[in-house]
Amino acid sequence: MEKQTVRDIEVDGKRVLVRVDFNVTLEQGRISDDGRLRAVLPTIRYLQEHGAMIILCSHLGRPGGKVVEEMRLAPVCQRLSELLEQDVACLDECVGPRVEAAVKELKQGGVLLLENLRFHPEEERNDPDFAKSLASIAEVFVDDGFAVAHRAHASTEGVTHFLPSVAGFLMERELNVLSSILQSPQRPLVVALGGAKISEKIGVLENFLDKVDTLLIGGGMAATFLKAKGLPVGDSLVEDNRLDIARDSMERARENGISLLIPLDVVIADSFRADAQSRTVDVEDIPDGWRIMDIGHKTLDVFGAEVAKGKTILWNGPMGVFEFPAFSRGTRELAAALGSLNGVTTVLGGGSTAEVVELLGSADRRTHVSTGGGASLEFLEGKTLPGVAALLDKEA
């Protein structure tokens, strides 16, 4: 069922607690990419325009339930002030008397950012007392942190027991776009899966084997499929305990009339280094001591042709070790192929795929780049996300 959003609830004059995902990368105290901040600006501005007092809460990194100075949210607060063109109040705590006092000082349209939630172990434990303390400073809860919606934490699920809880605009968009792929995609539906391990994509594989028209397998996980077909893979990373899953996926694809394509040729290297010796070989000719690092040009031609036929395309996971320039061609050219399409729904499923596209500077040419790595994967697996399930349903 669809979830209520911030449009469906009265916020004028209300204190609104907003869960955001400001889990950004800090380099020498500065934000290297402010995309996660920009993504929630529509929700913040809507609340400002409708007279709310806005209290933002987020985590940053994995401090392990204790204060880590390098993981404070002060740099985030500074950048958010610049983006909103107004001062954002920044606290060094997220619960307690000082927080309560700061909230009382908020004016309509004012914005307050609480300190890193994960400085408290109670956050990840979904401690009800901690959730109640968070909720006590607000009258409404808006969840705009899709990237953590798969976690049943105090700030994602716990607070919903104490406040009327709805989705923000980013959460709404994530749910609408990903749901449309699962339920009513324009066809042909082409899904490209990459990344290092098949174990990370098992759920997506299983959920799409009766939904997709074409399934493209690249990245490190392709080695497991190649070995499952009896082909040599040299020193490539292979999950031997997942070979049966790869065989079963290929068999199910055949039974369902799905075109499941694995690489025809690959770029191999003699070691896992950016400056390793490399060459391109057919998948039947991978020698001992070498490992798969990228898909080859024949494979790119085939994958590109399949993508060009699609009306809905989902891509999750890079096609090779894109961090090393010598092995980034497969990922770069697939991104370019997607960017050249018109009238096609293209969705990038979070995590490293989103990082790739941001690096290439082509995110604006996609229909949607998911902000949720693990959350988007679990949603596409068909799992229920605790942070979504807890929000108010729209009436039928």
CA distance 26 to 31: 5
Backbone φ and ψ of 323, nearest 5°: -65, -25
Q: Which amino acid is at 153?
A: H
User: Is-catalytic flag, 118?
Assistant: no
User: Is-catalytic flag, 374?
Assistant: yes
Task: Give the list of residues 6+ apart from residue 137 with CB closer than 8 angstroms, or none.
Answer: 15, 17, 55, 99, 100, 103
- Asked whether 313 and 346 are in contact (CB, 8 A), the reply is yes
Q: Which of 191, 344, 315 is nearest to 253 (CA)?
A: 191
DSSP structure class, residue 52 = -
Angle at CA of residue 242, ends 239 and 245, nearest 5°: 150
Q: Token pair 């605009």 is at which residue? A: 169
Catalytic residue among 219, 351, 373, 387: 351
Task: Give the list of residues 6+ apart from residue 200 with CB closer than 8 angstroms, or none.
Answer: 221, 377
Catalytic residue among 14, 36, 173, 291: 36
Question: Residue 278: beta bridge partners?
Answer: 269
CA distance 381 to 366: 22
Backbone φ and ψ of 227, nearest 5°: -65, -35
Structure tokens given for 120: 């408290």
User: Is-catalytic flag, 79?
Assistant: no
User: Is-catalytic flag, 197?
Assistant: yes
CA distance 191 to 144: 26
Neighbours of 147 (CB within 10 A): 25
Catalytic residue among 45, 197, 211, 252: 197
Give the CA dihedral 209, 214, 219, 221, nearest 10 degrees.
30
Which of the residues are catalytic? 36, 197, 351, 374
